[in-house]
Structure 1
């Protein structure tokens, strides 16, 4: 009997001082654009710090966050997120990590179905009966003048393009031009101080967008429209990019995808490393182009 009392006391004490995480999703089925609420609560903090994704960056990119409020007290953490989804389909809120001291707590995943509540057979009734209105030339001009002007502007643009292609100077399209332009864009990204502020989501979105545009222009690979898996596969088949550069692109792009879906939270050192490696890759790209040109000549 004494052992049972001791075990029961130990169990009660362990639960009394351990952190308890709970989460709740208000609705599992949503109409397009309807507001839903997702809440996370952690009790028994005992003045420990809670680390999680940045504000407005907890949910995957499919979810349009409207409001992200965080309440922290000495013994509890409360986070309430209001969001909407504007595309039909089934979406998942994955396991989300919250670090309390040295302990990692995770929420359970949730699945949300988004439906279009409008029906194609819905009848729309007029409030008033239709009236016959007589229009003169001025009325028709007011109705269609912008279409006429747009048509004339389109013709002017087409003529200008033809004249430019036939008589204008061709713009420079050398590897050096693409490299210098991309280095300027990377420098602008660095000045936004996303790394110093820990805004990893915005950092990786812009870094990968700059890299994709550069690969598409420099190597004639449709990196701006391909998924990461398809891009990596095409690079390995194409052999235009050196293996060292391929490895950098593969590592940074896959890490960026994990960040986008809130599956990893890189630290400042990792972001610095990825930025420097992409910058070095851009600077070395001209060597890839020179090697490819030599290979074609042979």
Structure 2
């Protein structure tokens, strides 16, 4: 009997002093551009710190955050996010991680359906009847002159582009220039001090964007339009990039995707390591191209 009472008391105390996370969504169905409210609460903090995605960066891409307010005291944490969606369809707010002390708490996922409330076939009535007006040649010129000028400018641009492609020398497309340009972009990223400030989301977004543009220029792979999984599969199939460099790209890009959707929170050491490895990958890229040229010659 004493053991049973002891067990019950232990469970009551554990429940009373453990952190409890709850979340709620105001509406599951929205009209285009209609605002919605997403609330996350954590109680029983007992003075522990709460770590989560930065302000205005908690929700995925399609959710336009309008207001992100955070209230914290020694006992509770509350985050209210007003958002809107400007595309039709079904969108998911995935599990979101909140680190309380050494514990990781997760919200439940929510599915939001966004509909267009305008009905097909709605009749639009004119306030006044249309009047017929006779136009002269000068009137037509005033109406369409900008279209004509734009068409002439477009034709001129096409001619200049053809001349440049046919006779111009693309000096900036050389591997050395692409490498140096990317190294300068990485140095600029380093100066923004995202790592020192712990702004991991902005850091990985810019790091991967720089890397994608570099892979597109240097290896002529469509890295700027492919999803991460498709890019990794293409690199392994293409064999242009060495296995060492493939491994660096795969690890950093996959971690960047997890950071983007608030599924992982990398520390400063990890961010420094990923930055250094991408920088070394850029420097080593010329060896990949030399090997590829030798293989083509053989």
TM-score (normalizing by structure 2): 0.93
Q: Which residue of 1 aligns with 2:294?
A: 294
- Quick check: 1:78 aligned with 2:61? no
Listed as ranges, the matches of 1:156-235 within 5 Å are 156-235=156-235
Deviation digits for residues 235-277 of structure 1, max 9, x if unmatched?
A: 1111111110010011011111111121111111111111110
CA distance in 2, matches of 1:236, 1:105: 36
Q: Which residue of 2 aligns with 1:263?
A: 263
CA distance in 1, matches of 2:172, 2:103: 55
- Quick check: 1:121 aligned with 2:121? yes
RMSD of the alignment, in Å? 1.9
- Do 2:21 and 2:107's aligned partners in 1 also have CA atoms closer than 8 Å? yes
Check 1:48–1:165 CA distance in 2 against 1; reply closer, same or farther (3 A cut). closer
| Shift in Å, 1:59 | 1.2
CA distance in 2, matches of 1:247, 1:141: 60
- Quick check: 1:24 aligned with 2:24? yes
- Quick check: 1:103 aligned with 2:137? no
Listed as ranges, the matches of 1:54-69 within 5 Å are 54-69=54-69
| Shift in Å, 1:137 | 3.1
Structure 1: stretches of 5+ with no match in the other structure: none
CA distance in 1, matches of 2:236, 2:7: 60
CA distance in 1, matches of 2:242, 2:129: 71
Structure 2: stretches of 5+ with no match in the other structure: none
- Do 2:172 and 2:178's aligned partners in 1 also have CA atoms closer than 8 Å? no
Q: Which residue of 1 aligns with 2:49?
A: 49
Number of equivalences: 298
Deviation digits for residues 159-193 of structure 1, max 9, x if unmatched?
A: 32233344444434221011011111111111111
Question: What secondary structure is seen at the aligned counterpart in 2 of 1:83?
Answer: strand
TM-score (normalizing by structure 1): 0.93
Deviation digits for residues 181-216 of structure 1, max 9, x if unmatched?
A: 111111111111111111111111111111111111
